Amino acid sequence: MAYWLFKYILLGPLLQLLGRPKVEGLHHVPSTGPAILASNHLAVMDSFYLPLVVRRRITFLAKSEYFTGTGIKGWWSRWFFTAVGQVPIDRTNADAAQAALQTAQRLLGEGKLMGMYPEGTRSPDGRLYKGKTGLARLALETGVPVIPVAMIGTNVVNPPGTSMLRFGKVTVRFGKPMDFSRFEGMAGNRFIERAVADEVIYELMGLSGQEYVDVYAATVKNRDDGSNVQGPDDEATRIPETAAG
């Protein structure tokens, strides 16, 4: 109930006014049954504009920190992310990543439409970054179609690093469903999973027109803030970050 309240009454009209969203290829999203919407990730508002333009409810996996805060702010965050269709996951280690994968499999088994960001986190500079293989493993293990989605202009409406919203022009462009049935039974093969992840990113590059960078976005962010830089495969099999990643 709260999901539709936010979509059509509380947030939807404001987002329509600010971004004047244009939708292309919406017919590629199935009206029923499980599927993965694999989107590039420019801004926090990606997780709001995507549900705004899709008739079906979209479920995202969100980092558990959004659900564990204390006080009024923590209560509001927990209520809000639950209301808008987020499911909490722990992403701290390999065991947590496997649990997240199982949660995603369960949700798809229930026929849900899932939103995921293959890059794993928001782009630090508007370019398209290397995809994590968590989405690839999920697609291979479940056999559901992957629908590439290009979010364009959300970083103008919601500039990275700020909570400010501005007027802009948002385009949400859906590509043809991607079928990976030719790799049936090959989930767990890291070379196949890498090939699938790269194929999804290649489709996103064509849909979005973004320049591609062959490193993980998280690695670039860690360099910029002085954190320890992870090795090339440290997070490769984690479920991609969603919600306000």
Q: Where are the domains of the chain?
A: 19-225
For 1, the token pair is 């109930």
pLDDT, tens digit (0-9, with 9 covering 90-100), for 24-50: 999 999 999 999 999 999 998 998 999
Placement of tokens 């290649």 in the chain: 202
In whole angstroms, give the CA distance from residue 194 to residue 38: 15
Nearest to 26 by CA among 15, 17, 13, 35: 35
Predicted confidence at residue 95, as pLDDT, reads: 67
Nearest to 46 by CA among 130, 150, 192: 150
Answer whether 140's CB lies under 8 Å from 187's CB: yes
> Helix, strand or coil for residue 89?
strand
In whole angstroms, give the CA distance from residue 21 to residue 32: 23
Q: Is the pLDDT of residue 176 over 70?
A: yes
Predicted confidence at residue 91, as pLDDT, reads: 63
Question: What is the dihedral angle through the alpha carbons of 204, 208, 213, 216, rounded to the nearest 10 degrees?
Answer: -60
**pTM of this structure:** 0.87
Lowest-pLDDT range of 98-112, 122-136, 182-196, 230-244:
230-244
pLDDT level of residue 142 (50, 70, 90 thresholds): very high
Nearest to 18 by CA among 126, 150, 156: 156
For residue 61, which phi and psi values (nearest 5 degrees)? -95, 125
Placement of tokens 């490193």 in the chain: 215
Average pLDDT of the chain to the nearest whole number: 87
CATH of domain 19-225: 3.40.1130.10
